[in-house]
Amino acid sequence: MESVRRFCVRVAECRWILPLLLVIGMGFCVAAESGGLLNSYTRFVLITMGVNIILCASLNLVNGYLGEFSVGHAGFMALGAYAAAMMTTRLFPQMPALFLPAIFFGGLVAAVIGFLLALLSFKTRGDYLALITLAFLMIVKSALENIPWVGGPRGLAGIPTLSSLPITFGAAIVTLWVIRNLVFSKFGRAVVAIREDEIAANSMGVRTREAKILAFSVSSFFGGVAGALLAHQITFINPGSFDILKSTEILVMVYLGGIGSLAGSVLGAVIFTLLSEVLRDFGTWRMVILPLILVLLMLFRPRGIMGLRELPWFLPRRELTSRRKKP
Amino acid sequence: MSALLEIDRVTMRFGGLCAISDCRLSVSAGVAHGIIGPNGAGKTTLFNLITGIYRPTEGRIRFKGHDITGWRPARIALDGIGRTFQNIRLFKALTVLDNVRIAYDTQLHYHPLEALARVGRYGRGEEESIARGLGLLEHFGLAEFATLRACELPYGLQRRLEIARALAVQPSLLLLDEPAAGMNTAETAALTTFLRDIRAHFQVTMILIEHHMHLVMNLCDKITVLDFGRTLAEGTPAEVRADPRVIEAYLGDGEA
C-alpha cells in the first residue's frame, strides 16, 4: 500500500507527464476527427465532456475559489451561445474559418454582462448574491424569449456543426491554462483570501472589489465560450435549454469534483458526463441515482473529491518547491 | 513633532447606541500605546474606525498628517496600518506561507495579463513574495510550518502568524486587538518579550487593546482608558494606575 502511495506521489510530481498527455490527447483528437476513428455517439460524448470541463472550471472560479454561490452560469452560457450562433448563422454564414472568432465573441459578450453584474452586485454576498444570479438567469431567459430576431421561444435552428473534437479539446486546455495562471497569481490569492475572510483580506490591503469583478468576468467569459461550443455541437438552441436545471448540472459537477480545485473540476466534469450517459439506460431512475450520489457526497465529502486540494501537475514549479515539506 | 495617528473628536453611533463618543486620541511615532477598558467600552470599534471598516458618524481621523476618514480598508492598509483581530481571522484553509504572501502580494505591481501569460513582472514578483514571506516566517519561528494549513497550527502559533501577517503589510502603525487573549501568565510574559522585539526590529508604532494588565503596564509607554465610548483617562502607566477614576471604573475590583 505504501509503495503504491509513493509511486502515485512520484507520478504526480513528474512535470513532463501533463504536457505529454495533452500532446497525445490533441493528436488523438485530430486523428479521430480526420480519420473517423470514433462513431458519432462517442464523439458527441467526448465533446460534451470538453464543454462540461470548461463550464465546471469556470464556475469553480466563482463558487469554489471566490466562495460565492452563483446559480446564473447557464445565463452566461446562453449569452455566449446566442452571440456566437448569431455570428455564424446571420452575420457570417458559410464561413467556418470564423468559428474561433465567434467563440471568442460569445465569451466576450458573456464577460461584459458578467462584469456589469459584478459591478452592480459587488456589495452583496451569500444568499443575496445567489438570488441576484438567479434573477439574472431569469432575465436572460425571458429576454431571449422575447426577441423575435433570435428566434424567440422557438429558438435558433440551423446552426452549423463546427464544434469539432480538436477545437473543444483546445478550448478546454486554454480555459484550464488561463484559470490556473490566474489562480496562482496575486489575483487568485486575493480571490481565495476573500473566500476565507473578507474583512481580514481587506485589512491586508486586498482590493476586494477588483478581485471579485475579475473572478466574475473571467468566469462568465468561459461560461460564454462553453455556450458557444455547445450551440455549434447540438446545432439548435432555445432559451429553455439554459434554465436553472442547466445551472444545477454545472453546480453538481463543481461540488462533485471539488471546490477550489482545477483537477477537481476536470474530474467532476468527466465523472458527471460519463455517469449521465451510463444512467441514460435507466430512464427516470437517472434523476434518482444522480441526486442520491450528491447527497452521499455532501454527507461524506462536503468539499468534493478534490476539495481545496490541487494535483501538483497544475501547480507552477515555483509553488511546488515552496509547498513541498522540508526533509 | 506631529502625531502619527490623530483621532479628532470621533463619534460612532449604531442606531441609538453610541459606541464611541467624542473620542480624542493622539499617538506619536515610535510609542506603544495601550487601550484598556471594560468589555463594551468601544475599544474594538475604535480599531474598526481606524482601519476603515466603519466610517465615523462624526469627527476626523488623520494618519501621517493626512486625513484618512472614509477611506476604504484596503487603501488604509496600503497606507501603512496593519492589524490583528480579537477572534483570530486567519485564512484558515490556506498555507501558512500564503497567509503572509497575500499581504506582500498587495505591494506587487503586475497586470492580470502579465499573470495570464506568465511574463514580465509576474515571475520576479512571485519570487519576491515567496522569498519575503519565507523570510518573515523565519523571523517568527514559523518557517518549518510554511506548508501547513493555517488552521492546523496550535492556537499560540496562530496568534503569532496573525501578527506576522499584519507586519507583512509593512505598516508604520500596528493595531493589536487582545494579542494575549486565551493565554496564561507564562505565555503572556513570553508575548511581552516577543512584542518588544517586534517593536525594535520592525520600527513600528503599536496600539494594543488588552485585558492583561501586566502586559499593558510592562509594554506600553502611554495608556488610554475607555469607558462607555468615552476617554476616561490618559497618561503613562504609573499615572493611569494612580488615577482614582480608573480605579473606580476598571481596576477597582483588585485587578491591579
pLDDT at A12: 86
Superfamily the domain B5-92+167-251 falls into: P-loop containing nucleotide triphosphate hydrolases (3.40.50.300)
Q: Which of B72, B95, B122 sits opposite A185 (nearest CB)?
A: B122
Query: Do A206 and B147 lie within an 8 Å CB cutoff?
Result: no
Query: Do A318 and B144 lie within an 8 Å CB cutoff?
Result: no
Those residues whose C-beta lies under 8 Å from the C-beta of residue A208, and which sit 6 or more positions away, are: A190, A194, A198, A201, A202, B74
CA max distance for chain B:
66
Those residues whose C-beta lies under 8 Å from the C-beta of residue B26, and which sit 6 or more positions away, are: B3, B5, B6, B7
Considering chain A, what percentage of its residues have pLDDT values greater than 90? 76
One digit per residue, the tens of pLDDT, for chain A of length 327 reads 788 988 888 888 888 999 999 999 999 999 999 988 899 999 999 999 999 999 999 999 999 999 999 999 999 999 999 999 999 999 988 888 899 999 999 999 999 999 999 999 888 888 999 999 999 999 999 999 999 999 999 999 999 999 999 999 999 999 999 999 999 999 999 999 999 999 999 999 999 999 999 999 999 999 999 999 999 999 999 999 999 999 999 999 999 999 999 999 999 999 999 999 998 888 888 878 878 888 888 899 889 999 989 999 999 988 887 665 543
From A188's Cα to the closest Cα of chain B, the distance in A is 10
For residue B3 the three cell numbers come to 502625531
Which parts of chain B are beta strand (E)? Answer: 5-14, 17-27, 32-36, 58-63, 66-67, 81-83, 173-177, 205-209, 222-227, 230-235
Number of CB atoms found within 10 A of residue A243's CB: 15
Buried-state track B221-256, b at ≥16 Cβ within 10 A, e below 16? ebbbbbbebebbbbeebeebeebeebbebbbeeeee
Q: Which of A185, A196, A206 sits opposite B74 (nearest CB)?
A: A206
Phi-psi region of A42 (alpha: psi -120 to 50; beta: other; left: phi over 0): alpha
Q: How far is CA A285 from the centre of its chain?
A: 26
Query: Do A322 and B165 lie within an 8 Å CB cutoff?
Result: no
Residues in A lying within 8 Å of B, measured between beta carbons: 178, 181-182, 185-187, 189-190, 192-193, 196-197, 199-208, 214, 260, 308, 316, 318, 322-326
What tens digit of pLDDT does each residue of A189-209 get? 999 999 999 999 999 999 999
Tell which of A195, A207, A321, A322 to mutate to test the B interface (max B CBs under 10 Å).
A322
Give dist(CA B41, CA A77) in Å, integer.
52
For residue B130 the three cell numbers come to 515567496
One digit per residue, the tens of pLDDT, for chain B of length 256 reads 478 999 999 999 998 899 999 999 999 999 999 999 888 889 999 999 999 999 999 999 999 999 999 999 999 999 999 999 999 999 999 999 999 999 999 999 999 999 999 999 999 999 999 999 999 999 999 999 999 999 999 999 999 999 999 999 999 999 999 999 988 999 999 999 999 999 999 999 999 999 998 899 999 999 999 988 888 899 999 999 888 888 877 655 554 4
Q: Where are the domains positioned within chain B?
A: 5-92+167-251, 94-148
pLDDT at A298: 85
Give dist(CA B61, CA B8) in Å, integer.
6
Query: Do A322 and B112 lie within an 8 Å CB cutoff?
Result: no
Which parts of A27-153 are beta strand (E)? Answer: none
Query: Do B91 and A201 lie within an 8 Å CB cutoff?
Result: yes
Q: Give me the total of CB pairs closer than 8 Å, taking one residue from chain A and one from chain B.
A: 111
Give dist(CA A43, CA A55) in Å, integer.
18
Number of CB atoms found within 10 A of residue A14's CB: 11
For residue A64 the three cell numbers come to 469554489
Q: Which of A182, A207, A326 sits opposite B115 (nearest CB)?
A: A182
Which parts of A175-238 are beta strand (E)? Answer: none
Strand partners, A237: A156
Query: Do B108 and A186 lie within an 8 Å CB cutoff?
Result: yes
From B168's Cα to the closest Cα of chain A, the distance in A is 8
Query: Do B91 and A192 lie within an 8 Å CB cutoff?
Result: yes
Query: Do B53 and A324 lie within an 8 Å CB cutoff?
Result: no
